[in-house]
A and B are shown apart, each in its own frame.
Chain A
């Protein structure tokens, strides 16, 4: 039986042995080994460092999760005393040099540091301006502790919240703490978490705690980062939920496309069970709680809670009508608490650090932070965690480093295929649940796609709708047929075949689907279309009336031209053209045969003098 005393012992020992805190007496080297790091080539580096330091005393090499700047992977960090150095874009050769010169020789290899790469006067990520303005609660351990080592989690205060709850808090205390913390669902809808738990407290012979780890928004990977980088935070929170509502079984519903996260969760569950932090009689409290994994096959709709529940039960992943809500009738008809990974990951810290600490971040109605997966036309794509209420401008130009190539910001898409766009007029809107809803979009799970002047808003709407049409489960009519009809109209418009009444049809269909679809997926499916019409109706009209795509993005409406005065006749474009559409004499202006041209744009990229343009 493990007690608080044991936790403290593990904590003290691990801090010392793994050189985890600033009073360290040795060198701690970490290798970013989340999916992003491994894909970029971290595994051989990890081996190289392990082998290269095997006979060194006072050097510990550890794998860690993703710190958020996936674009800089593979990343290695070296901690000595209170000094931290972040190396990016590592290769075996560079790594060897870091090993020889820095780890063995004590001299920082400045040219490989993050500051050198991102042209800032900094040697560690924590000194970077885009990192400094973040506030890391959910991601606090991601990229700094070994996710496959429960002791490192404990060293960071892990499982103290569980101990506190089991030894000194009543179930009502926990619910009240969550209620007053103002924590809202991080899956996107923003329902108060404490209320959800409260609704599930009524007596029942069996209850369940479910973690929704079926992250499916295109381009979003906030949950994966937590699962791969700090899995115990989730397990601890689920156990707290189990105690609070009186559930003895928890399910983590996770997509099978996250094999590394699945593996790390399995390891974490096993370690927690071995330590008596999960399973029977947790920490001698008499409380039983076990966690099982349920692997999803990758259907977006299974992120909808009732469809997820159906899938756990072994049924086809289709949503069910609400009411009854999962808190009354969830998994196998039993009361069920179901929360997103991001929501759970906040809970242990709220318990330990208190409501006031949590509420000191964020806005009045949206407390805490939000993790975004920043993508699209942005200089620093990756994960950022910011206080609720941070403006979009701050995220784009501060944490995101602005729009690349000097292009102008056009709009940002939040909430993925369920959300809407934020145009430049609203760039100073504080990002919280209610402000976003006011301007016609939603928080969503955290996908944040930035678009610049080259993005066609009609095509963006078409892209997201294409996704929802493909992911619709097919159960209800408005989603199954309505979104398909909307997509057909958008395909018409973007291929120069739009009709005069298409915009009004889109609005009418969109309104009806929102009003009558069975589940959240269907009800929000028209959002990308409706919000782009709301802010960019003119762009739609230009497509329909003038058969032109103002952004120059819709292929059917553009053509490539060579400016004769600029062309130097080098022939590079003709050689790159995959369909032999370009011809011309050497050193003479070339021409594009538009009957052959497939508008791939390869010529434009190849031209050394920017003589090719599209219109």
Chain B
């Protein structure tokens, strides 16, 4: 057990583990020290000097990086401390593009909130502003350095959390800017579009590319038949956009809202997730039985795919050739649903709502053509619902539209780390053993451990599986396979820590809440409980999926499947 130390904060005695930051120790006793550059689990940087406290030293110290020590006496709220914080805030604001009213983050900006909290009512030190061009090169994210406060939370998210590191500080002093090396643009570097940077950003310096206008245009066009699909993780977080508690599952309200927005059909990516299991499960069984390349690695996460293409293309043969659920759904809509409904392909607008910024990049990959026309994220759907004046909280529940809206519990857990693997095991086990799987919840691959391993006995074979989420963990896992240290049959990798529920397109959560609650765990709970509430919890039991095979595809892994549901990847340079 770690050593405990006792310290006094604002006269209150508190006991914490040695090494705990003073910021966290203060939080434990209900003192919320304001922060900007600090982000729980991501960045302890000590740069913004907003969280400074009086620790009896000759200067004030940043509480986010100050380790609690025995006998420490901390004052968080003296006049000196307050004035110092306020002046540092004034200084930050003096070099900030303050076009707040038209900012993406208006009303959801930590800088705005903290300035308000500190009662900053004027900026006395106006001077030169740094002026930079917007970076519009990425299909997923917009970088606006003029709104950047150089807190480096994005840099830590990209470099430390994700172990990618395509953005960092360049220049120095007042000229410092966070950007890719050598003045490159985000679209030109090995960025995987995971959006963890924008999730970390406290201001409007990195935001999601807004594609809502394209959707409104399509809905407004009487000649277009607008079809929407929503990914599993969206339902676990959309409610947060409207002030519902984190972890509230809003599947029914979301379906109603989509219908009210004017979509002609509201389908569920969960259907395609079940379809993915049919294809991927079959592919895995094929590889197992025919000495195919193992381990097989899942291909649902477009961030992971691009990460692999840049960094680990020696694993190309290991990749499942299955399209992601978004792209399978896109293909089914354009190639099966359209002819079935007698709608010309060009009149269908296929929209997807995703928790994921990288899905915007994925939909634009040349190999997928126009299967998905527009990708909007959970954040953007929230915007559309607000624009339409829909009182989300009071919406009644409704169901998705039939056939392509039907799904099992296996599909809904795709949104959380380990979910794809668990769903695959539920099907692969039954197909191979021809027995019913009784214990369908695979606890060993659930949870937020970065790397999870399990061995599942199927017939005589010990199937070794591994699950990694967050590309830093993916890197560790793949390196251990490269070196020969580890061997597996089947691997699930998700680019984002926690899986899709923590995707770059999900609603933004204030750092103060991230300090108090484990957001990812709450969202995961929502999906697991949705799974438990489903009548059918195994993908191969989805009757609508079975019908699409009967009507159109033939059999899983068959010729038609390969034509419409499978894909190829490319090798990309790292620099």
Q: Is the CB of A484 within 8 A of B128?
A: yes
Q: Please, which residue of chain B has its CB at the minimum distance from the CB of A484?
A: B174
Chain A residues, Cβ within 8 Å of B66: 321, 323
Choose from B45, B59, B95, B172 the contact partner of A481 (Cβ within 8 Å).
B95
Q: Mark A218-229, 1 if CB is under 8 A from B, else 0.
A: 000000000000
Contacts A470-B173, A472-B173 given; does A508 touch B47 at CB 8 Å: no
Q: Is the CB of A476 within 8 A of B49?
A: yes
**Segment with Cβ contacts to A, from B83-91, B212-220, B253-261, B452-460:** B83-91
Q: Is the CB of B48 within 8 A of A476?
A: yes
The 7 A-B pairs of least Cβ separation, nearest first, read A474-B176, A472-B173, A321-B65, A481-B91, A488-B127, A321-B46, A485-B125
Q: Which of A305-356 contact B (CB under 8 A)?
A: 316, 320-321, 323-324
Q: Which of A462-483 contact B (CB under 8 A)?
A: 469-478, 480-482
14 pairs, A vs B, C-beta closer than 8 Å: A323-B67, A472-B173, A474-B171, A474-B175, A475-B45, A477-B48, A477-B91, A480-B174, A509-B87, A512-B88, A515-B60, A516-B49, A518-B47, A518-B62
In the assembled complex, the CB of B445 is this many whole angstroms from the nearest CB of chain A, namely: 33
Contacts A323-B67, A514-B59, A523-B59 given; does A473 touch B49 at CB 8 Å: no
Report the contact-size class of chain A (Cβ under 8 Å from the partner): 20 to 34
Q: Is the CB of A473 within 8 A of B59?
A: no
Q: Please, which residue of chain A has its CB at the minimum distance from the CB of B61?
A: A321
Instruction: Give bound CA distance, A485 to B125, whole Å.
Output: 6
Q: Please, which residue of chain A has its CB at the minimum distance from the CB of B92?
A: A477
Interface residues of chain A, those whose CB is within 8 Å of chain B, are 299, 301, 316, 320-321, 323-324, 469-478, 480-482, 484-485, 488, 505, 508-509, 512, 514-518, 523
Identify the interface centre among B59, B67, B80, B173: most chain A CB within 10 Å of its CB: B173
Identify the interface centre among B49, B59, B168, B171: most chain A CB within 10 Å of its CB: B49
Chain B residues, Cβ within 8 Å of A482: 87-88, 91, 125
Q: Is the CB of A485 within 8 A of B94?
A: yes
Instruction: Give bound CA distance, A505 to B127, whole Å.
Output: 13
Q: Is the CB of A480 within 8 A of B173?
A: yes
Chain B residues, Cβ within 8 Å of A481: 91-92, 94-95, 125, 174
Q: Mark B56-76, 1 if CB is under 8 A from A, else 0.
A: 000111100111010000000
Q: Which of B167-198 contact A (CB under 8 A)?
A: 168-169, 171-176
Q: Is B374 in contact with chain A by the CB < 8 A criterion?
A: no
Q: Is B3 in contact with chain A by the CB < 8 A criterion?
A: no
Contacts A321-B61, A517-B59 given; does A472 touch B172 at CB 8 Å: yes
Q: Is B150 in contact with chain A by the CB < 8 A criterion?
A: yes
Choose from B62, B95, B125, B173 the contact partner of A473 (Cβ within 8 Å).
B173
Identify the interface centre among B45, B84, B174: most chain A CB within 10 Å of its CB: B174
Choose from A299, A505, A512, A516 the contact partner of B172 (Cβ within 8 Å).
A299
Chain A residues, Cβ within 8 Å of B173: 469-474, 480, 484
In the assembled complex, the CB of B36 is this many whole angstroms from the nearest CB of chain A, namely: 9
Chain B residues, Cβ within 8 Å of A323: 66-67, 69
Q: Is B124 in contact with chain A by the CB < 8 A criterion?
A: yes
Q: Is B411 in contact with chain A by the CB < 8 A criterion?
A: no
Q: Please, which residue of chain A has its CB at the minimum distance from the CB of B83?
A: A512
Chain A residues, Cβ within 8 Å of B67: 323-324
Q: Is B305 in contact with chain A by the CB < 8 A criterion?
A: no
Instruction: Give bound CA distance, A323 to B83, whole Å.
Output: 24
Contacts A485-B127, A517-B59, A518-B46 given; does A474 touch B88 at CB 8 Å: no
Q: Please, which residue of chain A has its CB at the minimum distance from the CB of B149?
A: A477
Q: Which of B157-175 contact A (CB under 8 A)?
A: 168-169, 171-175
In the assembled complex, the CB of B400 is this many whole angstroms from the nearest CB of chain A, namely: 49
Q: Please, which residue of chain B has its CB at the minimum distance from the CB of A501?
A: B124
Contacts A324-B67, A477-B88 given; does A505 touch B125 at CB 8 Å: yes
In the assembled complex, the CB of A316 is this many whole angstroms from the nearest CB of chain B, namely: 6
Chain A residues, Cβ within 8 Å of B61: 321
Instruction: Give bound CA distance, A473 to B171, whole Å.
Output: 8
Chain A residues, Cβ within 8 Å of B150: 474-475, 480
Chain B residues, Cβ within 8 Å of A516: 49, 52, 59-60, 84, 88
In the assembled complex, the CB of B154 is this many whole angstroms from the nearest CB of chain A, namely: 15
In the assembled complex, the CB of A307 is this many whole angstroms from the nearest CB of chain B, namely: 11
Instruction: Give bound CA distance, A518 to B64, whole Å.
Output: 12
Q: Which of B115-174 contact A (CB under 8 A)?
A: 124-125, 127-128, 150, 168-169, 171-174
